[in-house]
Amino acid sequence: MRLILLGAPGSGKGTQAVVLAEHFSVPHVSSGEMLRREVASATPFGRRVEGYVASGELVPDDLVLAIVGDALNAAVHAHGYILDGFPRTLSQAERTSDVAPPTGIAFDAVVYLSISDDRARRRIAVRAAEGRIDDTDPAVVERRLRVYHRETGPLLDFYRDRRLLRTVDADQTVTHVTRSIFDALIPDER
């Protein structure tokens, strides 16, 4: 299975990616986790990423691709993957084929976890209480939601036009969202 999970911050991408990767026995590639790991390790990439993450802005495409490129390449060669939070912009979507030549990155489907901003805010507040650093400042959370709608929103039409998009209501329990994803992908898969 080769999937992209799209959704606003707090939509449950990471949670669902773990479940799906385990179910399909494929790697889970989380751009957000990789970026946070770089920042926490204070690597040269991490020092460049830190300001963007702290302010709620998207990390520039070239920097994201440099950080996630090896993991994407390995996932392509594993013949299956769950991409969580990547691509995040139209430019990244158009450039992914450059990351893993000659096979490129192809997808079976793109699952959009649809959630209202109010519900996303409530979920993010829970994550902040659990110590996730990029979720602690309400102004940054608001900026992340605005940036998501501006930059990631166009991806929905991009994938819809390619008949890859499957929309799932993410305002359900984890189990119900998972079941809805399976129903959207393979009606008999459970």
pLDDT digits 0-9 by tens, 41-100 = 999 999 999 999 888 888 998 899 888 888 888 887 787 899 998 898 888 888 775 554
Structure tokens at 22: 């385990």
State residue 163's pLDDT score: 92
pTM (2 d.p.): 0.87
- CB 90 within 8 Å of CB 154: yes
**Terminal Cα distance for the chain, rounded:** 14
Domains of the chain: 2-185 (3.40.50.300)
Give me the residues paired with residue 53 across strands. Answer: none
- CB 97 within 8 Å of CB 73: no
pLDDT digits 0-9 by tens, 154-180 = 999 999 998 999 999 999 999 999 999
State residue 47's pLDDT score: 94
- CB 90 within 8 Å of CB 58: no
Residue among 79, 126, 68, 85 at smallest CA distance from 104: 79
List the beta strands (DSSP E) in the chain.
Answer: 2-7, 28-30, 81-84, 109-114, 165-169
Residue among 112, 120, 118, 125 at smallest CA distance from 159: 112
Contacts of 102 (CB under 8 A, 6+ apart): none
Alpha carbon distance 84, 86 (integer Å): 6
**Strands 165-169 and 28-30, bridge-based pairing:** unpaired
State residue 107's pLDDT score: 83
pLDDT digits 0-9 by tens, 87-118 = 988 888 887 755 544 555 678 899 999 999 99
